[in-house]
Each structure stands twice: as structure tokens, then as C-alpha cells.
Amino acid sequence: MKDTSTEYFADDLIIVGEGMVDAEPVTEHGWETTLLLDFGNAIAAVRSKEDLFDTVKLFLRRLNILRGYAIRMINDDGKTMSTYVHDRTVTAPDDPLILEVAKTRYPIKDGIQDRVLNSDTPVFLMVDEEIAQGRDAGYLHFWKSVGFVKVAGMPLQTASRKWGILWLAMQEINVPLVESLCSLISIAISNIKTNEQILVLKEKLEQENQYLNEQLSNSYSAEIVGQHPAMHHVYKLISRVAGAPSSVLILGETGTGKELIARAIHQASPRNNKLMIKINCAAMPANLIESELFGHEKGAFTGAFERRIGKFEQANNSTLFLDEIGELPLELQVKLLRVIQEREFERIGGKTTIKVDVRIIAATNRNLEDEVEAGRFRADLYYRLNVFPIQLPALRERKEDLIPLANFFISRYSRQTGISVKGMTAEVARALQGYDWPGNVRELEHLIERSILLTNDNTLTAVHLPGIKNEPSVQDDAPPLTMESRERYHIIGTLKRCSGKIGGEGGAAEILDIPSTTLHSKMRRLKITKKDYK
Ligand SMILES: Nc1ncnc2c1ncn2[C@@H]1O[C@H](COP(=O)(O)OP(=O)(O)OP(=O)(O)O)[C@@H](O)[C@H]1O
């Protein structure tokens, strides 16, 4: 028996068709509260339209004598509404009328939907009356065809906006209860929409990321110049090892391209969706490298004001490039060996063991076997790292690559500086071929960069090689380059060629034939800092 006297029901009872089962007696607040609590819990877990459909289906069916329901949402155009979720039990799922209603965008201002949206309380409709008044919306006809006589529409809204309408066809309606359900559904819809936006953004970011990665990997392979058989052998080794997690040891003189090859391996590996992390083992004292590699906890030592995440943690699921591994202090070699073997470590001052999946690529210009023999490098670490060695040839051993490399750098620096240089004279090419290139590709790169800055022509007519007196000459129609900027370029170029060494044998001061104190004061005056030549 239904209890129509109860305060929980509105005066307007909605009678929808015949043959209805009577409502469950609602005599206590308890039933309502339980339903609301259950619904609230279920709705909190709703993340998608499908979840909402399942939850609404489950709970609305617990309402008394429900004939049918639908949620219609305001479309992005702000002018029309479409079915979002609807009761699929009202007709056969392939009923042409329900399919039509489900896909049609009905104008909001049809005298029905706008009426509900502008109301804060449920709006009750007599279907026949609406049709008799000339309202012609397809959904009205659908309601009539399935025998809905009266329906109630409730606005779905959160503080920030109106979302749509919940339509209910039921025999009786408990207004406060349904209003509470509407509030919960509105929150769920707002969450779903936010979630959808996040997913769209995430997908967009992933696509951009993939695009950037492709660009990066293409740019790395496009950046390696070399057709000498020794370089082809290197390419073959890269393609063999890239896909595996094995450690790689890249050997070669300074400036032969060890870092470039490390990046190419990383880019060709499945870890290429994360950045390769690099650490230069020669650049810092032992205690700093330890903290760089493993990180430290706050207060681990004097000056450790904050917790710091080390390179190993940063490189989790990626590649850690240990440059100049031959310079790593012995005490740290033991710790490195442990991480490579056990894939775990602790931050300095930390008690928790951190597990990582890091692929190691190490590089050195030292002969590690000699270092092991001399007791400066641990044999066990050497064997661990030497799983897959790649030896890079010195530039002097692949002279046929010299001119293609020089042309590659000419076009790179011509582009970067905006100084149009197309190539070099035969004389310059001969000079390049005749030189021994102790600084390898890096030395060639710096030489070309400097020569481009000094040239007045669109062809390189002169290069300054150590021991060869053929400074580029300044022509009468030279572009307006001041003495000061010429001097600056010249000093930076020389410093680059000396790998930043200022004084002493082979230093920039010696090559420029001035005392190193003079060079220092010139550098101060011309505001030349390390970042200009390193
Ligand atoms: N085959 C190559 N093609 C194009 N550029 C190259 C090639 N080899 C090296 N380079 C360039 O030469 C410069 C030095 O290369 P890289 O830093 O990789 O050398 P390295 O062997 O790691 O040097 P170091 O031992 O001093 O750390 C970089 O600018 C790099 O791009």
C-alpha cells in the first residue's frame, strides 16, 4: 500500500499510464536516507558517462514505480540539448523513435526545456496538454507513444553552471528526495566533464610528447655525420644494443662524439619517452658527486637544507649517462657498482632503500684497462660496465668524413648566426685535411664556428689552425664588425679550441701569445664568461 499522506511526497502525484505496480510504502525517513547515502557513495565513484548510466539505472529503479528516466544535457553550443543517459528498458533498444530521440539535438527554447531549466524546483508536464498547446518536440511524441501521461523535469545544476535536465516518469514523486538525487547527479556530471577535459588534455600532451620525441630521435640520427666504415660499425652496434637494457661503455678520445652516441642509443631505446639524465663525473669533488648521484635527505650534512633527489632517481625508467666515468673517485665506484648490480640505493642520510630501473651508459676517454692496472679503477666495475663497449674512431682515422663534417657545421652555424656561408675554398679544405685534429670533431666544430664569425665572404677562405698562419683577412668591404667584437670572437674561439684552458702549455694565452694575466683582464673587459666558450 502506498502512503500518500506522508509528508515526503509532493501534492502533485505523477500518474504515468495504467497497470502500474503500487509504490512501496514509504513510512520512514530511513528508507530515503539509506537510498541517498548509497546513491551518494556510488555517485562519488562515477568517472565516466557509462558509470553514471550504471549508477542511475541501479538507483532510480529503487524509486517507487518508476516508468522511465532520461538525463538530457545542454550541448556545447549552449542552444540545444541532447540525450546523455536514458532508460533503455522503456522500449526495444532498436525502436526507431527512441533512436531518433537519443540522437536529436532539441533546441533549448522549445517552451519545455527552457521552462525546466529556468525553474529551481521540479516542473510537472501533462504530455497530452503540451501537444495540444502546439508543442511539437520529438521527445513529447515519444513519451506519448510509450504511454507516459505525466513526467517531471528537474534542472541539473551545480554552483558554477546548469548542466541539463533529469526527466522522470513515475507514479509518485518524493520531491525533496529527487531534488537531492539531482544535486548528486549534477556533481557527478560536473566531475565527468572535468575528467573528460583532463583526458583530452592528456591525450593532446601525449601526442605532443610523441611528436617531440620523434623530432628528437630524428634530429639525433640526422645529427650524426660519418660514412667511414668505422662509423658504420658504430651505427650497427647502436642498433643492436639500443633495445636491450644492457649497460654500454663508449670509448673514444675527447670530442669524438661519445655523448652524441649516448643520446642516439637512448633515443633509439624503449626509454625514449623520458629524458636521458647526464652527470659528468669529472666536474665535481667526490662528496658532491655522491649527492648528485644518490641525492640526500634534509640535514644529511652541513648545508643539506632540503631533501634532494639524485640523478639515479631522476633517471628511473630512463637512461643515466655517466660521462668521464674514468674520473669517478674510487670510493664512489663501490657505490655505483652496488646500484648497477642490485638496482637499489639509499639517499645520503636516508634509511629507506630506493629501487630503480636505470639503464647505464658510461663514457670515457681514458684507457680503463690501464686505469684498472694502475689501481685507479675497480676491476669489478670495469667488467660490469664493459658488457657492451663501443669504440669511437678519432677524426684523424676517418679523414674522408672531415669535409662532410665541416660542411655540416658550416650550415649549422651559418643558420644559427645568420651569417650566410655556403662552403669553403679548396685551400681551406686542404688545410683541414692536413691537420691532425687532437680535439677531434669538437675542435673542428669550434674552428668552423669561429671562422664563420670572422669571415667577410660567403665562402670560408681561411681558417686558423694551430701552427698554420692563415688568419682570415679582413676585406675592405667587410661588414661593420667593431675591433672589440672581433677581439671577443677571436678570444672565445681560441678558448674553445683549448677546451677552456687559459694558462699553461697549450692554453689560450700561449696560442694568442699574451701573458695569461693579460688574457684574464681582456676577458673581464669583454665580459667573456665560461658559458661563452664551454
Ligand atoms: N659524428 C658526428 N657528427 C656530427 N657532430 C658530431 C659528431 N661527433 C661529434 N659531434 C659534435 O662534436 C661535439 C663534441 O661531441 P661530444 O660532446 O659528443 O664528444 P665527447 O666524445 O662526448 O667529448 P668529451 O670526451 O670531451 O666529453 C658535439 O657538439 C657533437 O655534436
pLDDT of residue 374: 93
Q: What is the ipTM of this complex?
A: 0.98
Grid coordinates representing 395 are 677524426
Residue 13 has pLDDT above 80, yes or no: no
Interval 389-445: pLDDT, tens? 999 999 999 999 999 999 999 999 988 888 889 999 999 999 999 999 989 999 999
The residue whose CA has the least distance to atom 7 of ligand 1 is 257
Task: Please give the number of the atom of ligand 1 that sits closest to the Cα of 261.
Answer: 18
Give 514's Cβ-side CA count (13 Å radius).
13
- What distance in Å separates the CA atoms of residue 509 and residue 517, rounded to the nearest whole number? 9
pLDDT of residue 204: 80
| Of 514 and 236, the one with more pLDDT | 236
The listed CATH number (3.40.190.10, 3.40.50.300, 2.40.50.140, 3.90.1170.50) that belongs to domain 224-391: 3.40.50.300
Region of poorest pLDDT, from 10-19, 224-233, 259-268: 10-19
Grid coordinates representing 141 are 511524441
Grid coordinates representing 199 are 583526458
Provide CB contacts within 8 A for 521, sequence distance 6+.
none
Task: Please give the number of the atom of ligand 1 that sits closest to the Cα of 365.
Answer: 25
Query: Mutate which of 227, 249, 250, 259 to test ligand 1's pocket (most atoms within 8 Å of Cβ)?
Result: 259
Cβ contact 401:362 at 8 Å? no
- What distance in Å separates the CA atoms of residue 73 and residue 116, rounded to the nearest whole number? 12
| Of 309 and 20, the one with more pLDDT | 309
CATH class of 395-533: mainly alpha
Distance from the alpha carbon of residue 401 to the mean position of ligand 1, in angstroms: 14
The residue whose CA has the least distance to atom 24 of ligand 1 is 254
Distance from the alpha carbon of residue 269 to the mean position of ligand 1, in angstroms: 20
pLDDT of residue 2: 35
Q: Of 148, 156, 107, which Cα lies nearest the Cα of 131?
A: 148
pLDDT of residue 473: 43
Pairing of strands 308-309, 66-74: unpaired
Grid coordinates representing 467 are 701552427
Domains in the chain: boundaries: 29-196, 224-391, 395-533
Q: How confident is the model at residue 471 (pLDDT cuts 50, 70, 90)?
A: very low
Distance from the alpha carbon of residue 167 to the mean position of ligand 1, in angstroms: 69
Query: Mutate which of 260, 364, 392 to test ligand 1's pocket (most atoms within 8 Å of Cβ)?
Result: 260
pLDDT of residue 511: 78
Task: Please give the number of the atom of ligand 1 that sits closest to the Cα of 231.
Answer: 1
What is the CB < 6 Å shell around ligand 1? 223-226, 252, 254-260, 323, 363, 365, 405, 441-442, 445
Distance from the alpha carbon of residue 322 to the mean position of ligand 1, in angstroms: 15
Backbone angles phi, psi at 308, to 5 degrees: -130, 130
Cβ contact 105:75 at 8 Å? yes
Query: Helix %, strand %, coil % for the chain, to 5?
Result: 45, 15, 40
3-state SS track over 271-330: CCCCCCEEEECCCCCHHHHHHHHHEECCCCCCCCCCCEECHHHHCCCCEEEEECHHHCCH
pTM above 0.90, yes or no: no
The residue whose CA has the least distance to atom 10 of ligand 1 is 257
Distance from the alpha carbon of residue 193 to the mean position of ligand 1, in angstroms: 49
Average confidence (pLDDT) over 156-162: 89
Cβ contact 339:356 at 8 Å? yes
CATH class of 29-196: alpha beta
The residue whose CA has the least distance to atom 26 of ligand 1 is 254
Average pLDDT value over all residues in the chain:
84
Residue 485 has pLDDT above 80, yes or no: no
